[in-house]
Amino acid sequence: MKSKRMLVLFALVLTTVIALSACGNNADPTAVVQPVPAAADFSNGSIVAEGRIVPRDSANLFFMSGGMVDEVLVIEGDSVMKGDVLVRLGERDSFEANVAAAQAEATSAQQVLDDLNRTASLAYNQAVQNEIATEKAYYAALIAWDDFDQDQYDNDLDQAKADIADAKTELEDAQKEYNKYASLDKDNADRKRTKTDLDNAQAKYDDALSAESDIENEYRQLKSDLDLAQANLDEAKRTRQNREDGADKDQLALAGTRLDSANARVRSAQAALDNLNLIAPYDGIVAKVDVSSGEEVNSGQVVMVVADTSEWYIETTDLTENEIVDIQENMEVIVVPDALPQLELRGTVASIADYFVEKAGDITYRVRVKLVDTDPRLKWGMTTETRFSEPSK
């Protein structure tokens, strides 16, 4: 590349010397020489860069997960359309089963949601009826509670506790009396008499405890009935309110969450199945095939290269920091392929990288040139000489 630049500079110097000699031979010593504005001139271009021909876009294709290749559907040079399947992996049964199961769950979840919306009016009217019924039950429990005689309850409970105390004393006395004869023969008259008295005292004590429990349970039952009726009424009102504008909001939210989760599983299962297919990312040609049927491939292993050759570009990293300041986007250039030295192709600067690349000690920048002209003999990777026009000063 340095030799090319030296040749260009030599040509510029030689041209300048010849021009000065001609002016010296024919110049009018009294004439004033007017400077001529510099125009873009590719023949005397001051910047020349080496580059390579690249397609508009290219992609190294690989599978997200490994497996056995079942089919390779294209060969090198084939034209493909975006979305075309290029290679298929085998062993798909489990993936297809996962998709089917996920779709079944999504269908079921959707049905539940649809049923909620379809029966919203019916559910609302049922909620109204339930609220009416629970309200009646609440007022019945409230009346029973209001009819409860607290004073009588307290008196009855006090009497029951007194009866328990008396029965307990009698039981303890009976136990002491029986203990005097407990070691005697079972047929002993005193032992049999005291044992009968003990059993009767125990029964009286148990009856006293049961009577106290009945009194307390009556109170607890009435209070529980009222609390339960109140809770049922509150819930019935909430349910009716939730259904005033359609299906129950809580049930809708739950059904919606279930459906979202099911759809997410469908997408995940479908993505796993789709990953068994290698898909063309855009229209283009198959530039390279590096896999065959029956071959085991790994995740991330490049198996194919696809390129969009609808347009050709030149990429170069040969422009230094001193040169890049004179390069602008949309600037016209002339490109000469090294393999076709007689061919001159027009192009324009498409992009200039902001980030630098250090190359052989020089700070260089990547420039991408779009070819306006093309030729069927151009191939990806061919080296070129790109001539940037002399910028106007």
Element (H, E) at 377: none
Query: Can you give the residue ranges of every domain in the chain?
Result: 2-86+284-388, 96-116+253-274, 120-246
Higher-confidence residue of 8 and 117: namely 117
Fold match between 2-86+284-388 and 120-246? no
Say which residues have a Cβ less than 8 Å from residue 158's Cβ, sequence separation at least 6. Answer: none
Question: What pLDDT score does 6 carry?
Answer: 41
Q: Which two tokens stand for residue 22?
A: 């001609």
Share of the chain above pLDDT 90, in %: 75
pLDDT averaged over every residue in the chain:
87
Please report, to the nearest 10 degrees, the dihedral formed by the alpha carbons of residues 289, 293, 297, 299 taken in order.
Answer: 70
Question: What pLDDT score does 246 carry?
Answer: 83
Condensed to tens digits (0 to 9), the pLDDT of residues 244-280 reads 888 888 888 999 999 999 999 999 999 999 999 999 9
122: amino acid identity, one letter: L
Q: Which two tokens stand for residue 230?
A: 């109140």
Q: Which two tokens stand for residue 169?
A: 């004393």
Query: Check: CATH 1.20.120 for 120-246?
Result: yes
Say which residues have a Cβ less than 8 Å from residue 111's Cβ, sequence separation at least 6. Answer: none
Condensed to tens digits (0 to 9), the pLDDT of residues 251-260 reads 889 999 999 9
**Would you give the DSSP letter of residue 328?**
-
In the predicted model, is pLDDT for residue 17 greater than 50?
no
Question: What pLDDT score does 25 carry?
Answer: 41
* Total residue length of the chain: 393
Count other Cβ atoms within 10 Å, centred on residue 95: 19
In the predicted model, is pLDDT for residue 9 greater than 80?
no
Distance CA 220, CA 238 (A): 27
Question: What pLDDT score does 299 carry?
Answer: 92
In the predicted model, is pLDDT for residue 16 greater than 80?
no
What is the band of 43 on the pLDDT scale with cuts at 50, 70, 90? low
Mean pLDDT of 184-195: 91
In the predicted model, is pLDDT for residue 193 greater than 50?
yes
Cα-based distances in Å from 233 to 125, 131, 148, 198, 247: 16, 6, 22, 52, 20
Condensed to tens digits (0 to 9), the pLDDT of residues 337-393 reads 999 999 999 999 999 999 999 988 899 999 999 999 999 999 999 999 999 976 555
User: Minimal CA–CA distance to 59: which of 280, 257, 258, 254?
Assistant: 280
Question: What pLDDT score does 132 carry?
Answer: 95
Please report, to the nearest 10 degrees, the dihedral formed by the alpha carbons of residues 72, 78, 79, 84 taken in order.
Answer: 0
| 2-86+284-388: CATH number | 2.40.30.170
Question: What pLDDT score does 306 carry?
Answer: 97
Share of the chain above pLDDT 70, in %: 88
Question: What pLDDT score does 360 carry?
Answer: 86
Q: Which two tokens stand for residue 143?
A: 């009346």
